Amino acid sequence: MGRWEPDSRGRLVQAALDLYGERGFENTTVAEIAARAGLTERTFFRYFTDKREVLFWGAGTLQDLLVRAVAQAPDSAAPIDAVTAALEAACALLQERRESAQKRQSVIAASAELRERELIKLASLSAAMAEVLRQRGVSGPAASLAAEAGIAVFRIAVERWTNEVDPQDLSGIVRESLDELKAVTAGT
Amino acid sequence: MGRWEPDSRGRLVQAALDLYGERGFENTTVAEIAARAGLTERTFFRYFTDKREVLFWGAGTLQDLLVRAVAQAPDSAAPIDAVTAALEAACALLQERRESAQKRQSVIAASAELRERELIKLASLSAAMAEVLRQRGVSGPAASLAAEAGIAVFRIAVERWTNEVDPQDLSGIVRESLDELKAVTAGT
């Protein structure tokens, strides 16, 4: 080793997702991930604390992106519009990574522990957005409701997007799901 | 022991909530809970597998209640109206237990592990309601969105209700929060 490895993190993520899909998350070791990526275990641990973190390290980036987008929305934007702007930014990040997102979703769906971890990460994203909304002067309950609605829409939209045989644009699905939420909450 | 103890479960819950509030959840033992309730550890384990379960055993009852109410809503009811009917039933269950709900909330708020457990329980309630909605012929995404919106409203309403100095009716707060969600999703 010692020489510079281009995109080691990306190669490790790719190798891990492939192995989790082939053998299951439980049955995959860090040594196997590193070997598949053509890297050492030491390199793995330079990027991730454990094999679970490979699935969740992106949550920090996503949270920064969502928070920044909500904070930067025009003062006149309604809470749901600030949240929508944040989801658009997240869509732009994910749009080119559908295959990875798909693999990640199916690994998580297969494990109760990973589903729980995903729920907790999504709740953190929601709490972070609600906090920025409150800093923008939105009342506590409205801020929480707008953020929770946004995250519910996002989660359901990503699920549809990764399951579709002939996938549309993720942001189109997010907009559709938002409209569906509006229709649903308005009732008949 | 051996003789019949009236409402042993209720006394254990009460004793546990008091002790968790006084000493913290981590610092309370099952032996202490049993002693405070004037019962034995053996009786404790007849009702609960561990001290955490004291805080969550009601989730099963709540889920049955929500699922039944959604299933029994008139065929003509919109998804959000079926969910609202379910939340009303849950309010009726909780209304007389505000003090316990308050203690429970503050114990959970103080522990990351318990907050995570609560999130997972709430997600199960949402998934169960979504499933009954789908059985009623509601499309997958609309069912998930209505259920998630309902649980978000419920969670936020219970939080407001337990924090209020001069508490209103829980079901009044749920209705207000639902209206707030409608206003929020409709945007400006």
Return the pLDDT at A168: 83
Chain B positions touching A186 (Cβ under 8 A) are 80, 182, 186
Return the pLDDT at A116: 92
Asked if pLDDT for residue B2 goes beyond 60, the answer is no
d(Cα B160, Cα B173) in Å, to the nearest integer? 8
Return the pLDDT at B3: 54
CATH architecture observed for domain A8-53: Orthogonal Bundle (1.10)
* Structural domain boundaries in chain A: 8-53, 57-186
Return the pLDDT at B146: 95
Residue-wise DSSP of B26-95: TT--HHHHHHHHT--HHHHHHH-SSTTHHHHTHHHHHHHHHHHHHHHS-TT--HHHHHHHHHHHHHHHHH
Q: For chain A, which residues lie within 8 Å of any Cβ of chain B, measuring from their own Cβ?
A: 78-81, 116, 119-120, 123, 141-142, 144-146, 148-149, 152-153, 156, 160, 177-178, 180-188
Return the pLDDT at B166: 82
d(Cα A145, Cα B185) in Å, to the nearest integer? 9
B90: nearest Cα among B128, B54, B136, B145 = B128
| CB contact at 8 A, A62 and A124 | no
Return the pLDDT at A82: 96
Return the pLDDT at B164: 85
Counting one residue from chain A and one from chain B, the pairs whose CB atoms sit within 8 A come to 89
Return the pLDDT at A154: 96
Q: What CATH number is given for B57-186 in this structure? A: 1.10.357.10
Residue range B129-142: average pLDDT? Answer: 94
d(Cα A17, Cα A101) in Å, to the nearest integer? 10
Question: Per-block average pLDDT, block size 10, for chain A (188 residues)?
Answer: 70 96 96 97 96 93 96 94 95 91 94 93 96 94 94 94 87 94 83
Residues 6+ positions from B30 with CB-CB distance below 8 Å: B41, B44, B45, B50, B51
With tokens 């998804």, the residue in question is B79
Superfamily of domain B8-49: Homeodomain-like (1.10.10.60)
d(Cα B10, Cα B84) in Å, to the nearest integer? 28
Return the pLDDT at B31: 97
Residues in chain A: 188
d(Cα A60, Cα B2) in Å, to the nearest integer? 55
What number is the ipTM of this complex?
0.85
